[in-house]
Amino acid sequence: MNANFTIPRFRLPAFVASLGHKLPQWPHTLALVAALNAALKMKLLPESELLLLEDKLFRVRVNDTGGEASYTYRNGMFRPVFRPTREPDLAFAANLSAYLQLLARQEDPDTLFFNRELEITGDTELGLIVKNMLDAIELPRLPRLPLTSH
């Protein structure tokens, strides 16, 4: 990938969300949980902080796709929760572009929060733990492909 590539701020058209609400939520929930468990397996997440996530219910909502995923952390694994029976301990809501910018470490969550592009509700301290845990992950440096180096 080009080092100068940046993810633009965008918002998907409203019909995507109205369609998304009607689609099953399990495929992306499973994908998210699988990604988190992969990070666990790679020992990217510190154990001392993981203990603080035990039995907490999380919800990630993507406003402009109409998708949402609920999951919990129990006995050393992230697990999907398909039919949450209570309000989440911590909930994030943002458009897809904001999540992509966060994942690419292109934008800081505080920036998105100040600009009202990221909504955090529930247990604020839990939110801070999750945020700081993700920030502290050392992303593996991807090898440069011969084709993209000049």
Positions touching another protein (CB under 8 A) are 49, 52, 105-111, 113-116, 119-121, 124-125, 127-133, 135-139
For residues 18 and 132, which CB has a smaller minimum distance to another protein in the complex?
132
Q: How far is the CB of 103 from another protein (least distance, A)?
A: 11
One-letter amino acid at 115 equals N
Please compute, for residue 90, the number of CA atoms within 13 A of its CA located in the half-sphere on the CB side.
19
Q: How far is the CB of 29 from another protein (least distance, A)?
A: 22
Closest CA relative to residue 5, chosen from 95, 96, 94, 100: 100
For residues 20 and 109, which CB has a smaller minimum distance to another protein in the complex?
109
Q: How far is the CB of 24 from another protein (least distance, A)?
A: 26
Q: What contacts 90, CB < 8 A, 6 or more positions away?
A: 56, 57, 58, 59, 120, 121, 122, 123, 126, 127, 130
CA distance 72 to 103: 20
Compute the 3-state secondary structure of the chain and give helix, strand, coil in percent, each to the nearest 5.
35, 20, 45
Q: How far is the CB of 126 from another protein (least distance, A)?
A: 8
Q: How far is the CB of 123 from another protein (least distance, A)?
A: 8
Pairing of strands 77-80, 67-74: antiparallel
For residues 54 and 110, which CB has a smaller minimum distance to another protein in the complex?
110
For residues 36 and 120, which CB has a smaller minimum distance to another protein in the complex?
120
For residues 11 and 119, which CB has a smaller minimum distance to another protein in the complex?
119
